[in-house]
Amino acid sequence: MILPKRSRQHKAESDSYAILLYKLRDLGVFRNVTDNDYGIDFELEAVKDGAMTGRYIKIQVKSSEMLKVRKDKVPVVGGIKQSTLNYWIKLSYKTHVIAYAVNVTTEDIYLTQPIFWQATRLLDGTRKSKSLEFVPVEKENTDVAKILTAIWLLAPSLTDTLHCHKILLKSLEAYFKLYVDVFQYDYDSQVHEPDVFRSLLEACKVISWNINTNTEKVTLSEEEQAHLFIYEYWVKQGGGSYDEIPNFICQKPMKVVMPILLKCLSHYKKMVLQGKYYWRRNNTYYLRLVYELEIPEPLTSHDEILAFGYQVRMNGVARRDDFEMFIASIDEEYKND
């Protein structure tokens, strides 16, 4: 009697799904969407204290047989189509998309960071497939995958990140002026622009969530560190009303937050320019904001930031004026897309 045989590929896929769902089962509820495979296999919604949170990610599971480890110890999977990259990018505006690869023999789980920025970097309008990079670690294990997945489930959305980035880019001059003011004016006088301080804290909290922000040592208590980006906390420390905060209270968080801001701006500028093909065709305004802003690097210490702040107060923030030439160079580079 001749019966259907289960293919090796189908078994590997089934085993990969089972391992992933079992290993990450404590994080939330999985929803299977493999019946319509357009680049997404599952949704995972976070559960906290037994309650649904409404926070979820979309998951693509790649075959570990395709996974190779480069000399720099970065695992990669090739054969990613441009159409898949485009689809992941569009989905990312709604929720984070994460790719996973499962070794069905060792049950190790490999995963990417939220895919948006890598996808925009790889997109070039050709028909060439691309290689997807996974998180580089010495030895993959379930704990790493579980920890990172839990972080990304609760991470700020891409839409919020882009919104806050634009606010910071457009308001940078005001932030430098605020920095100078809180150290220049009387120690116990009130901050002149409390709303500027508030917007700085709120926007930095969002864009710095996944960036190593080790900066100049400023002594913060555990409580201050936990409330660093909370405007109301610093107002309370000054004993004032909602819109009153003395300069001496503002000085400590400003010394910490401004280096974080500058590091984040440098980080996002690099990622946006790496994805210039995508932004040229989808949001030239955002590309201009990022490209034209000029901040000297490194600029991390209090004295360096204060000195640059004085220059900004005198002359404003310097901006490049060759954006049209930059756009023309992109169009020339990708003219056959």
How confident is the model over 25-55, as pLDDT tens digits? 999 999 988 766 677 999 999 998 889 989 9
> Looking at the structure, do residues 174 and 142 belong to the same domain, yes or no?
no
Task: Pull the structure tokens for residue 101.
Answer: 């690869």
Alpha-carbon distances, residue 304 vs 201, 259, 273, 329 (angstroms): 20, 10, 26, 34
Of 153, 179, 205, the residue at which a domain comes to its end is 153
Phi/psi for 225 (5° steps) reads: -65, -40
> Looking at the structure, do residues 175 and 319 belong to the same domain, yes or no?
yes
- What single string gives the DSSP state of each residue in 222-281? HHHHHTTT-HHHHHHHHT--TT--BHHHHHHHHHHHHHHHHHHHHHHHHHHHHTHHHHHH
- pLDDT score for 186: 87
Torsion, Cα of 17, 23, 29, 33 (10° steps): -10
Contact (CB, 8 A) for 224 and 172: no
Question: What is the domain-level CATH number for residue 31?
Answer: 3.40.1350.10
- pLDDT score for 35: 65
Q: Is the pLDDT of residue 86 over 80?
A: yes
For the stretch 209-268, pLDDT in tens is 877 666 556 778 899 999 999 999 999 998 877 778 999 999 999 999 999 999 999 999
Helix ranges, 24-134 (H): 82-92, 116-122
- pLDDT score for 91: 96
Count the neighbouring beta carbons within 10 Å of the beta carbon of residue 48: 12
Q: Residue 144, CB half-sphere, CA atoms under 13 Å: how many?
A: 16
> Looking at the structure, do residues 166 and 285 belong to the same domain, yes or no?
yes
Residue type, 280: R
> Looking at the structure, do residues 135 and 164 belong to the same domain, yes or no?
no
Of 153, 187, 222, the residue at which a domain comes to its end is 153
Task: Pull the structure tokens for residue 10.
Answer: 């189908």
| Distance between CA atoms of residues 222 and 100, nearest Å | 35
| Distance between CA atoms of residues 332 and 323, nearest Å | 14
Mean pLDDT of the chain: 89
- pLDDT score for 68: 87
- pLDDT score for 290: 96
Residue type, 150: A
For the stretch 12-23, pLDDT in tens is 778 888 999 999
176 pLDDT band (50/70/90 cuts)? very high
Among candidates 287, 291, 273, 277, which has minimal Cα distance to 336? 277
- pLDDT score for 201: 97
Higher pLDDT, 105 or 114: 114
> Looking at the structure, do residues 168 and 315 belong to the same domain, yes or no?
yes
Alpha-carbon distances, residue 177 vs 173, 296, 309, 324 (angstroms): 6, 17, 6, 29
> Looking at the structure, do residues 243 and 266 belong to the same domain, yes or no?
yes
Helix ranges, the chain (H): 8-23, 82-92, 116-122, 142-153, 158-184, 194-207, 222-226, 231-238, 247-274, 276-282, 284-292, 302-315, 323-333
For the segment 156-174, the average pLDDT, to the nearest whole number, is 96
277 pLDDT band (50/70/90 cuts)? very high
3 falls within a domain? no
Higher pLDDT, 336 or 48: 48
Q: Is the pLDDT of residue 337 over 90?
A: no
| Distance between CA atoms of residues 85 and 95, nearest Å | 15
Count the neighbouring beta carbons within 10 Å of the beta carbon of residue 237: 18
The dihedral through the CA atoms of 88, 89, 95, 97 has a sign that is positive
Q: Which residues, including other chains, have CB under 8 Å from residue 124's CB and lie 6 or more apart?
A: 82, 277, 334, 337
Higher pLDDT, 118 or 192: 118
Return the bridge partners of 61, or none.
100
Provide the domain limits for residue 26: 8-153
Residue 123 CA to chain centroid, in angstroms? 18
Q: In 3-state terms, what secondary structure has residue 305?
A: helix
1 falls within a domain? no
For the segment 288-311, the average pLDDT, to the nearest whole number, is 90
> Looking at the structure, do residues 120 and 218 belong to the same domain, yes or no?
no
For the stretch 111-147, pLDDT in tens is 999 999 999 999 998 889 999 999 986 665 558 899 9
Among candidates 21, 47, 22, which has minimal Cα distance to 34? 21
Q: Is 112 exposed, middle or buried (0-12, 13-18, 19+ CB in 10 A)?
A: buried
2 pLDDT band (50/70/90 cuts)? confident
Of 126, 153, 180, the residue at which a domain comes to its end is 153
> Looking at the structure, do residues 256 and 296 belong to the same domain, yes or no?
yes
> Looking at the structure, do residues 140 and 167 belong to the same domain, yes or no?
no
2 falls within a domain? no
Domain count within the chain: 2
